Chain A
Amino acid sequence: MAKLRLDKVKPLVALGVFLAAWWVIPTTVKSFMQVSFAEFQAPAWVATSYLDDLEGFWARRSHSKVELIEAGRDLARIKSLYQFNAQRNRTLELEVERLEAILNLPSRREFRYEVARVIRRDLSAWWQHLIIRKGRDFDIPVGAAVVFSGGVVGRVVEVDAFTSRVELITSPNFRIAARFEGDERPVVYQGAPQSGFGDPVGSVRDAPQDIMASRQAPLQLVSTRLGGSFPPGLSIGRVTWLEPGSSGIFQAGQVELDPRLLSLHEVAVLISLSPTDSVNNAP
């Protein structure tokens, strides 16, 4: 009879022992276990991503020659436009450098762009993450900014050997300094819980009282140099209304984000060419 009772509570005893052991185990051991398990899973996701690419390749192979010729013509037009823009960009950069030299301004942070394919999207009530197909093999650092053609995507929060995890701008844990286009005063952008219905949204706070936003005249929220991870001027989203915040001194409102954030296939990771000093946050 006593044996029977012991058998009954065995699962609870084992659970208790596990919880006690988990509490005692050093964080380094837990991190090692987490990394080991994650690295075991990564090849499956990378393989799936390459299979997707292969599927796309075969899908394009089935296109007719006429379609390919038309696509090539369109690409040539876009290429010539980009070549012209690149020339213009180079001229403007030289002009900026010349003015900076005249004014004796401190040098700006420079970034290199690492384009990476999105292999998994994890967008739920509890987390808002992307997994990209580049990791330590491409020197992706934790905290690096991630962008796409529509603006800010998020920030790298975890780097593995061949993959990295990106926290999306929609995540409530994501917060950056921002400013409204045409206004130099900083505000705070923070992600917000998503209902899943409608376009993604975020929130802005600490906006000065004199700033007005409406649906007819929305304000564009862009990144600033403050914080160091993001270059200035990248689009974050659109603000169509502002109301007095909880303090009464500043305003707060909702930021409408780019709906393409939810179906990204490719992003660019910005890797600083002059890594930030983690203590002083200075290059």
Chain B
Amino acid sequence: MLLDPRAIVFFCANALLLFLMLLVNSALAASPVYLLLLGPMVVLPALYLRHQSYFICTLFSGLWVDAALPVPFGLCTSGLLLCGAFVFMTRSRFRAEHNYHPILIAHGLNFFMIGLLSLAAGFPEWSSVAFWIQVATTSLASHGALLVVAPWFFNFERMLFMLFHLENEPEELPLL
């Protein structure tokens, strides 16, 4: 099969996560809190799917994020694919059927995405203390929120598999 149906489920879940993230950020606009929750989007696709399906899912998720955020088009796609490539290459080391490893990976990837966006902001912003204060606040708030959001999101994705009668096991279980 060209595309694993689970890739579509992952993509829809990613779109929902992005929508909720932007909705919360819009409501919190007057406060210093901003949530960036892109890390969990790549984790399960990279751990569960074959390479072709994972790649298509991550590519479309990245383009979806790029269209929603005012970043250079392709930045988040490249970032998510880079993160995904790392997780995919090392996936035999992680247990995908439980949340512990995916949550840790999600935190790592989210931190990478925050770093990538800060890097892309350019030199004039880097020299500002206010910019780094807000990046630090965003990082703290996002990773705090991830402690709650990431387990919910992974369980939600697995629940969708059950709901649509899809395979609930990763393609390649880790070698023990």
Q: Which residues of A are at the interface with B, using a C-beta cutoff of 8 A?
A: 8-12, 14-15, 18-19, 22, 30-31, 33-34, 36-38, 40-41, 44, 48, 120-127, 129, 157-158, 165, 172, 192-197, 259, 262-263
A30 proximity list for chain B (CB < 8 A) = 73-74
Known: A33-B63, A34-B67, A38-B67. A196 touches B34 (CB 8 A): yes
A38:B84 contact, CB within 8 angstroms: no
Question: Is the CB of B171 closer than 8 A to any CB of chain A?
Answer: no
Instruction: Report the bound CA distance from A193 to B25 in whole Å.
Output: 18
B73 proximity list for chain A (CB < 8 A) = 30-31, 33-34
B124:A37 contact, CB within 8 angstroms: no
Interface centre among A37, A48, A126, A157 (most CB of B within 10 A): A126
B100 proximity list for chain A (CB < 8 A) = none
A127:B70 contact, CB within 8 angstroms: yes
Among residues of A, the one whose C-beta sits closest to the C-beta of B33 is A196
Instruction: Report the bound CA distance from A38 to B71 in whole Å.
Output: 13
Question: Is the CB of B156 closer than 8 A to any CB of chain A?
Answer: no
B89 proximity list for chain A (CB < 8 A) = 8-9, 11-12
Question: Is the CB of B149 closer than 8 A to any CB of chain A?
Answer: no
Question: Is the CB of B176 closer than 8 A to any CB of chain A?
Answer: no
B74:A37 contact, CB within 8 angstroms: no
B70:A193 contact, CB within 8 angstroms: no
A172:B25 contact, CB within 8 angstroms: no
Of A36, A124, A262, which contacts B134 at CB under 8 A? A124
B176 to chain A, nearest CB (A): 18
Among residues of A, the one whose C-beta sits closest to the C-beta of B85 is A11
Ordered by A's residue number, 26 sampled pairs between the chains whose C-beta atoms are within 8 Å are: A11-B84, A18-B78, A30-B74, A33-B67, A36-B67, A37-B66, A40-B67, A41-B15, A41-B19, A121-B29, A122-B26, A123-B25, A124-B34, A124-B138, A125-B34, A126-B117, A126-B120, A127-B69, A129-B70, A165-B70, A193-B128, A194-B130, A197-B32, A262-B30, A263-B29, A263-B30
